Amino acid sequence: MNEAFLRACRGEATRPVPVWLMRQAGRYLPAYQEIREKVDFLTLCKTPRLAVEVSLQPVDILGVDAAIVFSDILIPVEAMGMGLEFHEGEGPVLEPPIRTERDLKGLHPIDPALDLPFVLETIRILKKELSNRVPLIGFSGAPFTLAAYMIEGGTSRSFVNTKRMMFGSPLLFFQLMELITDVTISYLRAQIRAGVQAIQIFDTWAGILTREDYDVYALPYVSRIFKALEGSGVAGIYFVYNGGHLIESMARSGADVIGLDWRIDIETAVSRLGRDVTLQGNLDPCVLFLPEEEIKARIDSVLRQGRKARAHIFNLGHGILPEIPYKKAKLMVDLIHELSA
């Protein structure tokens, strides 16, 4: 197996530096687009044969150093009792939004083996298909991010409903967070039993919080998840979008690897956290619109900064954009391996 990714997760400096991409199985790949023309997004997530196919595409086409299970962070939320739809150009719609104690009582814990068998079957098939070529990453949404989606009923610019509950009905908010955290722990444990070798927790919306609020309303629940997974033998990665102001708190989460978005450079992160840290990231996805020589220079800069950390896993500072030509993504992966060898 190409173990560079797992070695880096364990804090070992590797040459070349391993690379994978958030949303690496996605709309920028023509092979993915061909499948999506035939099925909707949720059907793709829930059909193991197809989910395996799109999970393998970036491994075969780009040569990344890890595969990630194709799914969505909101899949377990639907299993908890919420209606879930994805509308093109609008994102997810969850109904009914969780705003009251009565709404909360409509939710329930899950049994991943019974409620999400398609995810676990996808993992088992992927393990066989990968044949130990590269490690397999599982994932979940972080409790705060899932709660925000559930309270808002989808995406939001202001998250006014989420913050209204946090500050106006904190006991209700904490009850929701406890339920989501329990569900997430059981879901990730099931993924680990099925065969993933690392997990990433995505906290897409925690960046809307001040550090003071993050430490109260988000961090304790993420920390409980990583604590619950101790001894599982898998590496844990924690990524907060727009979370540069939170990295000192993120470093206390219990994660093995801290993912950075592009708004904070790695050198600054190391200066704030110290060198004894493993970092993942963090090229701005839009850099891939630049000419080849400028892309090379930007990649080289990220790699040079990454050498200041204990270990470095290269990634974009968020998911790869659908508009990125896949040949640019392939170029990026090749350059990372070449420049860091």
Instruction: Provide the β-strand partners of residue 235.
Output: 198
- Give yes or no for a contact between 197 and 137, defined as CB atoms under 8 angstroms apart: yes
Report the distance separating Cα 231 and Cα 317, nearest Å: 29
**SS3 of residue 144 by DSSP:** helix
Specify the amino acid at residue 212.
E
Q: Which among 45, 139, 110 has a CA at the least distance from the CA of 84?
A: 45
Catalytic residues: 23, 27, 36, 72, 149
**Helix, strand, coil proportions of the chain in percent (round to 5)?**
50, 15, 35
CB burial string 154-187: b at 16+ within 10 A, e below: beeeebebbbebbeeeeebbbebbebbbbbbbbb
Give me the DSSP letters along 204-249: SSGGGS-HHHHHHHTHHHHHHHHHHTTTSS-EEEEEETT-GGGHHH
Phi, psi of 141 (to 5 degrees): -80, 155
If phi over 0 gives left and psi between -120 and 50 gives alpha, with beta otherwise, what is residue 234?
beta
Q: Which among 142, 79, 84 has a CA at the least distance from the CA of 112?
A: 79
Angle between helices 117-130 and 170-194 (to 10 degrees): 40
- Give yes or no for a contact between 135 and 68, defined as CB atoms under 8 angstroms apart: no
Specify the amino acid at residue 77.
V
- Give yes or no for a contact between 174 and 211, defined as CB atoms under 8 angstroms apart: no
- Give yes or no for a contact between 70 and 61, defined as CB atoms under 8 angstroms apart: no
